Chains A and B, each alone.
Chain A
């Protein structure tokens, strides 16, 4: 009768769960990182945070407990990771990308949260404004410098009037970028032609739809678009429609030029905020930041295939790569 409870398999499985509780070991400081999915840019942010912590004297295993969890694309799991972290009571939670940051904020109003790689933290209601908010939240946005991107498109294709943009309508960051791109384009006397691709397989079709309607293709930091980038390059070469990207890694894959954010730098910038909080500053007194460190990369080989010649000025100031 003693083990009556264990007779029901449900109770047995739950008991197993209690036994599996992880032993906490003593460490001076603890930082917990949550991300919505494994992704080269998001992983770079995480590694940047870690590198910055190390540079500031917080080393994993010595005086720092550093934990990382990815929700593997599932919003429900992101919520559970947030709860796990709130239960673990780390000194700082770093939340990478919008859904993970929102899930973390839904779980705590007291533990310092530093978001990263969120394009529009105000629209995502993480912070009330870009200024210091007095709450437990601050962070670094990966907002692209769109006016600079338009200037780059003009440098690559001086006659360009119509910018074709390929993006997924399901990514909050991309939708925000396209809205801002329209404003920036109008200010520069240009128009934007949208080509939406809901899935990776729709990307080549979207690129095809821009032929004859646009003078250049612009690709934002959009997960689907970056994944299916080769399909865009193929269309660009056939139609002599030069591609300018927001993501420098895509230049090696066939974009003509990119003025991009470096996500490792965004991670390091995030790490700097984490260090300030670990040293005793309140997150509520730190304003949200954007990245200021941009890298210009060009691919003359790809330019030739897509029917443009890059100016000497561009070649001099940029890092030059060739298609891999």
Chain B
């Protein structure tokens, strides 16, 4: 794997680290299987790209993209808590509706940003080569997002949200509005995912209607890889594990792209990625087994 390929994996892994944080919030904290992300990821990209092409400042465009993502998450939760539509169905409805909305936002299926200013072209870190500057800026953004999420979960509002997902009846008995916290939680979760979409569009020079396909799968895989390899009770470690899981997933794809010497071909890519992820998930179990073996001998 070349240095540039590794930096590319880090760059895209960090972006999907934000997706993983969002998916972690909905699936693990609020206990809401939310598929909205397949629509809110391209929504963030569509809003940011359209505004940038219209002449907006990239930072402002990215901020508006986050708000748009938050609204989509809010709508999903509202459909569930107010209209009592099943969680999965509510998120599917918003996800498919977002396909049309994203087309409306962009006015066409693909908005190119290659020649436009982006947050990456704004932050050049004193003329640092692009392949270093992009992951560095993303690292700063992801660290900032992680700190904000960690601080939030340690705050009273964040604890109320965790209680909502952990035991809704108990939370209500303590006077917590579980409806509000479900809506706020999904809004935050999808704001993070839309931020990822906005950053992806700017780093890859395009927003495309098809870019949301499978976002939830990659996000969930990252969360589960992270949780398996770094099991922890502490929220600070668990959010870190999500980001590392996303990075690892991207490294597995980069590795799978380099397996042509083994007689594997281009069409085997997804299979190879899946096998690598499965192996990674086996590592902790084998570590325990080996540790048990040695203890038995001594």
Interface residues, chain A, CB within 8 Å of chain B?
Answer: 8-10, 12-14, 16-18, 20-23, 38, 67-70, 72-77, 79-84, 86-88, 98-99, 102-103, 105-107, 123-126, 169-172, 175-176, 198
Contact = CB atoms under 8 A, between A and B. Distances in A.
B71 interface: no
Interface of B: 1-9, 11-12, 16, 99-100, 103, 108-110, 112-115, 131, 200, 203-206, 208-211, 213-214, 218, 229-230, 244, 248, 250-255, 257-261, 266-267, 269-270, 280, 283-284, 287
B4 A73 contact: no
List 8 A-B pairs, minimum CB-CB distance, nearest first: A83-B8, A87-B2, A87-B4, A125-B112, A106-B205, A172-B110, A102-B206, A87-B5
B108 A83 contact: no
B254 A70 contact: no
B2 A68 contact: no
Contact of A172 (B108, B200, B266): B108
B279 to A, nearest CB: 8
B8 A10 contact: no
Contacts of A103: 204-206
B254 A75 contact: no
Contact of B266 (A10, A21, A69, A87): A69
B230 to A, nearest CB: 7
Which residue among A16, A23, A82, A107 has the maximum number of chain B CB atoms within 10 Å of its CB? A107
Contact of B204 (A23, A106, A126): A106
A77 B269 contact: yes
Contacts of B208: 75, 98-99, 102, 172
Contact of A69 (B2, B3, B257): B257
Contact of B99 (A80, A88, A98, A198): A198
30 contacts: A9-B280, A9-B283, A10-B229, A10-B244, A12-B283, A13-B283, A17-B251, A20-B259, A23-B261, A68-B266, A70-B267, A72-B269, A75-B210, A76-B211, A76-B218, A80-B253, A81-B257, A84-B2, A84-B5, A84-B258, A87-B1, A87-B4, A102-B204, A103-B205, A106-B114, A106-B206, A124-B206, A125-B205, A170-B210, A175-B108
B269 A80 contact: no
Contact of B261 (A22, A76, A126): A22
Contacts of A83: 4-5, 7-9, 11, 131, 254
Contacts of A70: 266-267, 269
B210 A17 contact: no
A161 to B, nearest CB: 28
B115 A125 contact: yes
Contacts of B253: 77, 80
Nearest to A171: B109
A107 B230 contact: no
A72 B229 CA distance: 27
A17 B250 CA distance: 11
Nearest to B218: A76
A16 B282 CA distance: 14
Contacts of B12: 76, 79-80
A230 B110 CA distance: 28
Contact of A175 (B3, B109, B206): B109
B132 to A, nearest CB: 13
A320 B7 CA distance: 53
A72 B108 CA distance: 22
B200 A20 contact: no
Contacts of B261: 22-23
Contacts of B269: 69-70, 72, 77
Contact of B214 (A12, A74, A79, A86): A74
Contacts of B8: 79-80, 82-84, 86-87, 107
B213 A73 contact: yes
Given A9-B283, A38-B267, A172-B109, A14 B114 contact: no
Contact of A170 (B109, B112, B205): B109
Contacts of A98: 110, 206, 208
A309 B204 CA distance: 50
A21 B218 contact: no
B99 A170 contact: yes
Contacts of A107: 4, 8, 131
Nearest to B249: A76
Contact of B251 (A13, A88, A123, A169): A13
Nearest to A109: B130
Given A13-B248, A198-B100, 19 more contacts: A9-B229, A21-B258, A22-B259, A72-B270, A75-B210, A79-B12, A80-B12, A80-B253, A82-B8, A83-B11, A84-B258, A87-B1, A102-B204, A102-B205, A107-B4, A123-B108, A124-B112, A169-B103, A175-B109
B214 A124 contact: no
B224 to A, nearest CB: 14
A12 B6 CA distance: 16
A295 to B, nearest CB: 28
Contacts of A16: 255
